[in-house]
A and B are shown apart, each in its own frame.
Chain A
Amino acid sequence: MTRLWSWGALLIGVAFFLMPLYGMTEFSLKMRRGEYSFDAYVTVLGDPRFQATFGYSVLMAVLTILCGVLLVVPTAFWVRLKLPGLRPWVEFITLLPLVIPSIVVVFGYIRLYNTSSWLPLTGSVTGTNMLLMFGYTVLALPYMYRAVDTGLRTIDVATLTEAAQSLGAGWVTILARVILPNVLGAVLSGAFLTFAIVIGEFTMAALLDRPAFGPYMQLLGANRAYEPAALAVIAFAITWACMGLIQLVTRFSKHNRVAR
């Protein structure tokens, strides 16, 4: 009885997951009538707009990761070291992006930072790009903060800091050469997850009118038949690669850590 429903649930679930994966792969290969071919992939990868938007989103993802690390690592470190009473509040705020839909946040940006406001970020291309990067940093905040905070929990922050201070290190040195290397695994996990989120993000990029990969995919989906399936396969592979890297990083960073 138990065996029956266990296998039943698994088989139904696995079948449901495999169905669209099979569907998109099969569909993406059928562009040429009557035989399998990689035509859809060739068309997509050769499209200059694909290259431009994909490059733009990769750049955005890297900048978002940098911005997130610079923001989250010092804050999480400082809160653990000096202001433990503030931790529930910071944690609560970092979880807010999961509560407030991103479409609402970007709606606020558009109204708050328009050309006639005190900080007219949407008035220039650089300003809008920066605004999008900040928006992505907000989206990544829950994952980034949780990853780094978990990483900090496994090391003795206070002792490490004191040791570094008695050797004459300043705050920047402590953060960059003592704390960061110790939580590098956690930071990289957060970074890859951020990458997976940012690369295909649609809502913010579309509403801020930036030439990112998400809006490009949507546009292609509205106009073409086979290329979107190829894009879906590519996007799935990217997500899979990011998650694989996270597992790899977690496995490696476990070895050089002393058991508590």
Chain B
Amino acid sequence: MALPRARINLPLTWLGVVPFFVFVGLFLLLPTLYIVVGAFRTPEGGFTFGNILALNTPTILSAYWVSIKIAFWSSLIGCAVGFAMAAAVTVGAGPGWVKNPLLTFSGVASNFAGVPLAFAFIATIGPAGIITLYLRHEFGINLRLMGFNLLSTLGLVITYLFFQIPLMILIITPALEGLKREWKEAASILGATSFQYWRMVAFPILFPSILGTMALLFANAFGAVATAIALTGPSLNIAPILLYAQIRGDVLGSPNLGYALAFGMIVITGLANALYIVLRARSERWLK
């Protein structure tokens, strides 16, 4: 029997990663699992789909929907602008010396999120912000009368862009630099215009990276709590703020409904990240 010998070898090597697995088990996996299991349990401990079905109320559905809208638009615009900026300094005709400062700044800006970011935007385009007042006094443009309000969906999208665009720049720049010069030369020898090269060669290669990064940006915006709370207080009905209020004071009136709300958030960010992982694997076929 070969079993006893294997038994002597195994435990010693595995011992080295025990602290890590105990740690992530206690402080990452178990708490998450507790929420997920709680989403499918009655207060008495039995199994039920009732909590998930109970999410189907106008308040909760609209909270999810507004969150998804904010995450979608901020990731879409973030992707487009970030891509254009990164392309301008890598493969476009923009000044090359801008690249490194831009990357450094992106590192800073992508981490400048949360409460201070909200303050910066309130001071700039909030009701009494510098630019709001400047436009009103100098040009007579009243942003508020034009329907703009920082404490709204649009305001959140604009604010989130401050960390979404830099994140896109950081992730997509290596992919753009991975575009081989030979591809462009081969295309132009065959008579392709610059537009045809982009449409038929470069863009299909980059597409999985772009879409994957967009999924990552989506998850990033969807889970953001601090910026939203500092910007709008508890008034705006979006999923993270609703969950925050639920944890603080059980506004939904049922702990298990709170678990279901949190579970829904995990599902949405989980799907977005799964998309990112699949698409990144696909993009690595061409860009190494």
> In this complex, what residue of B is CB-closest to A227?
B119
For window 33-79 of A, CB contacts with B under 8 Å fall at: 71-72, 74-75, 78-79
B240 contacts the other chain (CB 8 A):
yes
A225 contacts the other chain (CB 8 A):
yes
- Highest count of chain A CB atoms <10 Å: which of B17, B161, B226: B226
Give the shortest distance, in Å, between A222 (CB) and chain B (any CB): 7
Q: Give 1 or 0 for each of B95-116: 1 = CB within 8 Å of chain A CB.
A: 0001000001101110110111
Check B262 against A200 for contact (C-beta < 8 Å): no
Seen from chain B, the residues whose Cβ lies within 8 Å of a Cβ on chain A are 13-14, 16-17, 19-20, 23-24, 26-35, 38, 81, 84-85, 87-89, 92-94, 98, 104-105, 107-109, 111-112, 114-125, 128-131, 161-162, 165, 194, 219, 222-223, 225-226, 229-230, 233, 240, 243-244, 247-248, 255, 258, 262, 265-266, 269-270, 273
Within 8 Å by CB of B119, from A10, A16, A107, A231, lies A231
**Majority SS at the chain A contact face:** helix
A240 contacts the other chain (CB 8 A):
yes
Contact stretch, chosen from A20-28, A152-160, A177-185: A20-28
Check A110 against B247 for contact (C-beta < 8 Å): yes
Within 8 Å by CB of B225, from A23, A197, A202, lies A202
Given contacts A201-B114, A217-B115, contact A103 B240 (CB under 8 A): yes
A168 contacts the other chain (CB 8 A):
no
Chain A residues in 8 Å Cβ range of B225: 101-103, 202-203
A-B contact pairs, 25 of them (CB 8 A): A5-B88, A5-B92, A6-B92, A7-B88, A7-B94, A16-B165, A17-B105, A20-B120, A22-B124, A27-B129, A74-B16, A79-B17, A96-B24, A100-B270, A101-B240, A103-B262, A104-B243, A107-B243, A111-B35, A138-B24, A202-B115, A229-B122, A229-B123, A232-B119, A243-B107
Chain A residues in 8 Å Cβ range of B81: 9, 12-13, 16
Within 8 Å by CB of A19, from B17, B32, B124, lies B124
Give the shortest distance, in Å, between B124 (CB) and chain A (any CB): 3
A245 to B226, CA, bound (A): 25
A9 to B92, CA, bound (A): 10
Check B93 against A75 for contact (C-beta < 8 Å): no
Give the shortest distance, in Å, between A200 (CB) and chain B (any CB): 5
Check B124 against A20 for contact (C-beta < 8 Å): yes
Check A6 against B243 for contact (C-beta < 8 Å): no
Seen from chain A, the residues whose Cβ lies within 8 Å of a Cβ on chain B are 1-3, 5-7, 9-10, 12-13, 16-17, 19-24, 26-28, 71-72, 74-75, 78-79, 82-83, 86, 90, 93, 96-112, 134-135, 137-138, 141, 193, 196-197, 200-203, 207, 214, 217-218, 221-222, 225, 228-229, 231-232, 235-236, 239-240, 242-243, 246-247
A228 to B38, CA, bound (A): 39
Check A103 against B23 for contact (C-beta < 8 Å): no
A239 to B24, CA, bound (A): 27
Within 8 Å by CB of A104, from B85, B94, B265, lies B265
Within 8 Å by CB of B108, from A13, A20, A240, lies A240
Chain A residues in 8 Å Cβ range of B233: 222
Chain B residues in 8 Å Cβ range of A101: 222-223, 225, 240, 265-266, 269
Check B34 against A23 for contact (C-beta < 8 Å): no
Chain A residues in 8 Å Cβ range of B125: 19-20, 23
A82 to B89, CA, bound (A): 43
Given contacts A74-B16, A107-B258, contact A202 B229 (CB under 8 A): yes
A207 to B124, CA, bound (A): 29
Within 8 Å by CB of A20, from B20, B104, B121, B219, lies B121
Within 8 Å by CB of A214, from B104, B114, B219, lies B114
